[in-house]
Amino acid sequence: MLYDFPLQSRLLLGTAGYPSPDVLEQAIDASGTDIITVSLRREGVSGGEHFRELLKRTHKKILPNTASCFGVKEAVTTAHMAREVFETNWIKLEVIGHADTLQPNPFALVEAARILCEDGFQVFPYMTEDLVLAEKLLQVGCQVLMPWASPIGSGQGVRNIEGLRAMRAYFPDTPLIIDAGIGAPSQAAQVMEMGFDAVLLNTAVAKAVKPVQMAGAFKSAIEAGHMAYEAGLMPKRNMAHASTPAYGLASLF
């Protein structure tokens, strides 16, 4: 459940960078997603009315984002524009602090989240795996957190596995969505096995040789990872442990 929205699929899919609108539409369908993310700025320059019509045809929940915003005022203004265009209080809040890594600015992120939450937005903050930052975002009104696995579009997968495990442990009742850095279905399965609630993808699908097939692969991997988490993974051991006991066997000598 995300802000009272029942989550059927645990895959959220971005809509930027696909080779064609037709491929995007097919990938959305193959992914099984319920939620698609849209950058207001990219939509304004590359899609217009045709792109909005495509989004309507999918019948998916729209999660606008404030991609490419580097300050509080810029992010808040973009969020208000997105609310008017897409008629939703949902906003994926990005306030970038470092141009090379696209790491979020934690101070500006908290302030922008506070302003938007007070104005009735339901905020999905893109953040690092910082526990203090997570606490501050929850305090200002966020009910969902979106930590990165690694920098946006890098495909590196999880770079700080212990940090993400700590976040999951410290906030057991908060929906946590891995956002950014996932490049392969195996990496998506890994974070789902750790107990995260969902994964948001864009580049790994959009830039694949076969985006539609890759969308289906991620769908299966995320479902498998979640099923494995619920089933209970076996603990790791330092030594071998035979599945068949040695005692009670017949002596052949």
- pTM score of the predicted model: 0.92
Does pLDDT of 225 surpass 80? yes
CA atoms within 13 A on the CB side of 196: 32
The H-assigned helical ranges of 119-196 are 131-139, 161-170, 185-193
Does pLDDT of 115 surpass 80? yes
- Contact of 203 with 170, CB cutoff 8 Å: no
Does pLDDT of 41 surpass 80? no
Residues above pLDDT 70, as percent of the chain? 93
Find the range with the poorest average confidence among 2-16, 164-178, 186-200. Answer: 2-16
Averaged pLDDT, 58-64: 95
pLDDT at residue 45, rounded to an integer? 47
Does pLDDT of 48 surpass 70? no
Does pLDDT of 172 surpass 50? yes
For residue 185, the tally of other CB atoms under 10 A from its CB is: 21
- Given pLDDT bands bounded at 50, 70 and 90, which one contains residue 129? very high
What beta strand segments (E) does the chain contain?
Answer: 11-14, 35-39, 61-65, 90-93, 122-127, 146-147, 177-179, 198-201
Known binding-site residue numbers for 1-deoxy-D-xylulose 5-phosphate: 153, 180-181, 202-203
pLDDT at residue 227, rounded to an integer? 98
Does pLDDT of 245 surpass 90? no
- Tell me which H or E stretch contains 24: helix 21-31
With tokens 């600015």, the residue in question is: 105
Domains present along the chain, CATH in parentheses: 11-231 (3.20.20.70)
Averaged pLDDT, 190-215: 97
CA atoms within 13 A on the CB side of 122: 13
pLDDT at residue 248, rounded to an integer? 63
The DSSP call for residue 104 is B
The DSSP call for residue 67 is T
Averaged pLDDT, 20-31: 96
Averaged pLDDT, 184-192: 98
Dihedral sign, Cα of residue 49, residue 55, residue 57, residue 59: negative
Residues noted as catalytic = 92
Averaged pLDDT, 30-39: 96
pLDDT at residue 145, rounded to an integer? 98
The DSSP call for residue 225 is H
- Contact of 13 with 36, CB cutoff 8 Å: yes
pLDDT at residue 51, rounded to an integer? 86
